[in-house]
Structure 1
Amino acid sequence: MPAVKKSNLRAIRSSFLHFLNDPSKVDDSAQAYQYIEDGLMVIENGKIQSLQVFNEQAASLYSHVEDKRGQLIMPGFIDTHIHYPQTEMIASYGEQLLEWLETYTFPTEKQFLDKDYAQKISQFFINELLKNGTTSALVYGTVHPESVDALFEQAQKVDMRLIAGKVMMDRNAPDDLLDTAQSSYHDSKMLIEKWHNNGRLQYAITPRFAPTSTPEQLTLAGKLKSEYPDVYVQTHLSENKDEIEWVKSLYPERAGYFDVYEHYGLTGSKSIFGHSIHLTEEEWASFTRTESVISFCPTSNLFLGSGLFDLNKAEKNNIRVGVGTDVGAGTSFSQLSSLNEAYKIMQLQGKKLSPFKGFYLATLGGAESLSLEDKIGNFEAGKEADFVVLNWAATELQTLRYKETASLEDKLFALMMLGDDRNIHSTYVAGKLVYTAKA
């Protein structure tokens, strides 16, 4: 049969791994994933057309098959909580959450009133995501609308699936970083109209956290959510014990921290709450009842000394969980590093995180937590072709360890614990190569 010479087709030969279910919800983890050691994936118009075991007859249909044997292709990683304006202040020393915000975050974020500056950091930020194999993210801007415009403009250049929002903050921050309840509503509404569902871009209503919003501002945030029910909500919850006490003092009429957000109509299936470490039993139940989502941010939780997230309890309560780097409190853009620290957090609680569960969280689990599992997260036919090509071993130590691996699980565990951006060979967004490591 003659080769098909269509420019909109891409055929790739490699090893492939993707998830079909949450490994914690099946009796045998092998039921949760598909691993093809020698496979052929075909991409058409930026979407997955097929994935099958490689055979010469199927390959002969295509004028060119990219040969990536010896590497592993997975769906692109999904970051469910990250602050792009904090990129340049990553790894800032010595504080816990509230002091860290005052000392480092607020002074850095003031610079994003300057659109040119925001564009420069946005470009660096998008490149850093792609360099680490992250193809989708839920992102915080600053209080300035310019920061969101700059970010979306950069994401649009590579056709990246990105969700972002302007921070809403009208109290308990420096005067030159405050908006008002009304201006935050107006600016957010304008940005929703401009960017939500514009190509692969979507918007998130973004109150930073309850202490920096007045009841009036949260009321208008809830109004936005009712006016645009398919937009997202992103904010922080129960990250730090002092933070929780502060919320109680500011909202004494509410039953607890989560109840503040629920009261103002900000919970639900597209509401993603970063951290959620110190939850009460009532709050765990409220997450389940409202179908709200948690972003687990391991490197940040350890760096700021915030606490240990209880992933097993989230599983028992049937709560969707994604993984977030939380840069700049998080110390790496790499979701491999996030999974490394997540494993240690589980160990400190006398529990385990299997590599299958870990890579599920970074791919399909992230997609499910963002209600995007119909579009991204695995290689089912019709999904958007966002994927990362990984080198199993990128250093001499990794090579030595890899030689001793006897199973897929062990190979993935070594990658999860030793891997970082050096393991990212290349990254594809909507079927197009957008990053490749220097030789």
Structure 2
Amino acid sequence: MQAFRASILHLLDDPTKSGEAVAFHADGLLVVDAGRVVACGDHAELAPVYADVPVEDLSGCWITPGFIDTHIHFPQVDIVAAHGAQLLDWLEQHTFPAEAAFADPDHAKEAAGFFVDELLRNGTTTALVFGSVHKGSVDALFAEAYARDMRLIAGKTLMDRNAPLGLMDDVETARADMESLIADWHGKGRLGYAVTPRFAISCTDAQLEMAGQVLAEHPGVWMQTHLSENPREIDETAQLFPGATDYLGVYERFGLVQKRSVFAHCVHLQGEAFQRLAAKDAAVAFCPTSNLFLGSGLFPLDEACAHGVKVGMGTDVGAGTTFSILHTLGEAYKVGQLRGAALDPFQALYLATLGGARALDLDDRIGNLAPGKEADFLVLDLAATPLLARRLAAAKGLEDRLFALTVLGDDRVVARTYLAGVERHRK
């Protein structure tokens, strides 16, 4: 058992729905044992109860839950900030060549180690991840996450059309690869498997039907894909699936819209489609940096939330331009400004922590520092840069401090990252 003394900030609920969602302890104590939170609250109240527990004094820092990334691409780590056009052209020019390299097991292993360490360096303790089409790429990623006891969900990308030959599989091969990956990794440590069609354009009816079958045959696995990101993508999907009511209808037809289904982007969805997502308890990954970088559009966060859709944050590396959820929250605020709906700082932290956990159906295990939760948490250095230290010194209250942190913060703020109570990164 160990304890940490610092200011502690976490969310107990969605702050847009509850006036008692924000829990802040200016002088707090977090007590951890066997990988789980034992107690979290005011130091003055808890210190006498845990007087025999060793305490590390981190005064001047904040402790928060670890960040949750609900959409990111492991094989695109080497094409962050690659200049290009919009989505479909960017895939052809940059993504497909980069992903082809993951046929090499040595390359996949080296990239997986870097990728997982970069997540931890940026304070991400849980991630929902796209692998490449190659089974070995996902094996390598799971192995690196397992070695660090990281909660990570991933899947091999499914593509059997509209991709280069070296990046396409077929229905039989894809099913065999997924069955093997599920057997080897799903539920091992803190790992989970996600059925992963890249998007409707890259999959035949037979491939999507098989994906739905595997999802149905393995209760507890996840499903991740892209939806309504780019106007040209939407048009091509309509041409390939003329019988579908709309883009979301393609996935509905094959049983892919359900609890534990996470749809990245949804930039061009409207009310009725959001209602259908909410009715199935599916979730959306909001990816502001990639939506801006590829010129895809502005996600209507306010509309999605108004219809009861679960939303988490996604960095979407490599079209996304940062691994940092903090930086991503700053960009989400700017997207909201352009839509006339500014993002509240506490809602931003909710989306990055408990909201992301709810999007992944893991809020019984992660997302805040309530007793019994897995002890995934961060130590944040509020003086990580001279500008941040100066700005926070002049801040007017907690909300102002948190907002400044999300706008000015990045990986430099993350002093330490803990997974299940074990330090896995220190700046």
For 2:389 and 2:24, the matched residues in 1 are separated by: 21
- Which of 215, 230, 239 is the equivalent residue of 2:205? 215
Aligned-partner residue type, residue 413 of structure 2 = N
Q: 1:135–1:161: 8 Å Cα contact kept in structure 2?
A: yes
Is 1:34 the counterpart of 2:26 in the alignment?
no
Aligned-partner residue type, residue 435 of structure 1 = H
Residue equivalent to 1:284? 274
- Which of 47, 56, 59 is the equivalent residue of 1:66? 56
For 1:374 and 1:328, the matched residues in 2 are separated by: 30
Query: 1:274-423 alignment to 2 at 5 Å?
Result: 274-423=264-413
Is 1:47 the counterpart of 2:15 in the alignment?
no
Residue equivalent to 2:12? 20
For 1:361 and 1:199, the matched residues in 2 are separated by: 25
Higher alpha-carbon deviation: 49-58 or 268-277: 49-58
Q: Deviations over 1:285-339 (max 9, x none)?
A: 2112211110000100000000000111111100000000000000000001110
DSSP 3-state at the match of 1:25: coil
Is 1:93 the counterpart of 2:92 in the alignment?
no
Aligned-partner residue type, residue 73 of structure 1 = I
- Which of 181, 189, 197 is the equivalent residue of 1:191? 181
Aligned-partner residue type, residue 111 of structure 2 = I
- Which of 128, 131, 141 is the equivalent residue of 2:118? 128
DSSP 3-state at the match of 1:57: coil
For 1:280 and 1:46, the matched residues in 2 are separated by: 42
DSSP 3-state at the match of 1:367: helix
Residue equivalent to 1:4? none
Aligned-partner residue type, residue 27 of structure 2 = D
Paired residues in the alignment total: 425
Aligned-partner residue type, residue 422 of structure 2 = K
Deviation at 1:426, TM superposition (A): 0.5
Q: 1:81–1:138: 8 Å Cα contact kept in structure 2?
A: yes
For 1:378 and 1:280, the matched residues in 2 are separated by: 31
For 2:183 and 2:252, the matched residues in 1 are separated by: 25
Q: 1:336–1:417: 8 Å Cα contact kept in structure 2?
A: yes
DSSP 3-state at the match of 2:16: helix
For 2:76 and 2:172, the matched residues in 1 are separated by: 26
Residue equivalent to 2:169? 179
Deviation at 1:51, TM superposition (A): 1.1
Is 1:235 the counterpart of 2:255 in the alignment?
no
Aligned-partner residue type, residue 261 of structure 1 = Y
TM-score (ref. length: structure 1)? 0.96
Is 1:249 the counterpart of 2:239 in the alignment?
yes
**Segments of 4+ in structure 1 off by > 2 A?**
55-60
Aligned-partner residue type, residue 219 of structure 1 = E
Q: 1:40–1:59: 8 Å Cα contact kept in structure 2?
A: no
Residue equivalent to 1:111? 101
DSSP 3-state at the match of 2:284: strand
Unaligned regions of 5+ residues in structure 1, if any? 1-8
Query: 1:76-91 alignment to 2 at 5 Å?
Result: 76-91=66-81
Q: 2:275–2:308: 8 Å Cα contact kept in structure 1?
A: no
- Which of 113, 118, 132 is the equivalent residue of 1:142? 132
DSSP 3-state at the match of 1:81: strand
For 1:371 and 1:267, the matched residues in 2 are separated by: 14
For 1:19 and 1:405, the matched residues in 2 are separated by: 21
For 1:425 and 1:208, the matched residues in 2 are separated by: 35
Q: 2:108–2:140: 8 Å Cα contact kept in structure 1?
A: yes
For 1:72 and 1:326, the matched residues in 2 are separated by: 26
Q: What fraction of aligned residue pairs are identical, expressed as a percent?
A: 50
Deviation at 1:60, TM superposition (A): 2.5
For 1:270 and 1:409, the matched residues in 2 are separated by: 32
Deviation at 1:52, TM superposition (A): 2.3
For 2:2 and 2:401, the matched residues in 1 are separated by: 28
DSSP 3-state at the match of 2:6: strand
Is 1:426 the counterpart of 2:411 in the alignment?
no
DSSP 3-state at the match of 2:225: strand
For 1:393 and 1:300, the matched residues in 2 are separated by: 28
Deviation at 1:280, TM superposition (A): 3.7
Q: Deviations over 1:201-244 (max 9, x none)?
A: 00000000000000000010011011012110000000000000
DSSP 3-state at the match of 2:30: strand
TM-score (ref. length: structure 2)? 0.98
Q: Deviations over 1:116-151 (max 9, x none)?
A: 110100000001000000000000000000000000
Deviation at 1:59, TM superposition (A): 4.9
For 1:52 and 1:239, the matched residues in 2 are separated by: 41
Residue equivalent to 1:10? 2
